[in-house]
Amino acid sequence: MGQQPSTRTGLIGLTTMKLPSPIRLRIVFYPDPVLKKPAANVGRFDAELAALAKRMIELMREAKGVGLAAPQVGLGLRVFVCNPTGEPGDDLICINPCFIEMSGGEEREEGCLSIPGVTVNMRRATHVVMTALDVEGKPFQVTGKELCARIWQHEKDHLDGRLIVDNMSATDEIANRRAIKQLQEQYRPHKRQNVKTSKRRF
């Protein structure tokens, strides 16, 4: 069972951090430490937050991804965006998300925009009911199945500081060893302000 929906008051770990200019945001790559830190609940809903979400959608689309979480652009906030179809009308912005129901199970290969070239077999629930807040702080509830459910779980893992590489089997480790080593060798810390595959990547 999941937690009760968050409201704009009483949030645990609530933050009202100053956000950087959206145009400066870029996708950060493994092994950047921000990807391993649990994100804080959002406590301020304003034009800056809306601009952040819009920029995240742009970056997700540019990278041909289906989901992107705020830690993936260097911000420790519980925000993710997603779009399983690529159609603009299907963009979804989720702030302080909670899963209140999860059922079913299926193992499939997943990739990640922050860990390019790496794919890992992940078992996920096939049915998820999620509550979240929109950019105005209004609560909503949605139900996702199959791909939608998988995307939401992948992105919520990012908000909790978990990555697909944390769940690699011995076979996955062997298959991805070279790609991970290359990412580690190429990694350069990015400056923060206040804060190759056709597979679907999140």
Q: DSSP of 3-31, one letter per residue? A: PPPP-SSS-TT-B-PPPPPGGG-----TT
Parallel, antiparallel or unpaired: strands 120-124 and 79-82: unpaired
Q: DSSP of 51-85, one letter per residue? A: HHHHHHHHHHHHTT-SEEEGGGGT--BSEEEE-SS
Among all residues, which ones are annotated catalytic?
Answer: 155
End-to-end CA distance of the chain: 24
Identity of the residue numbered 186: Q
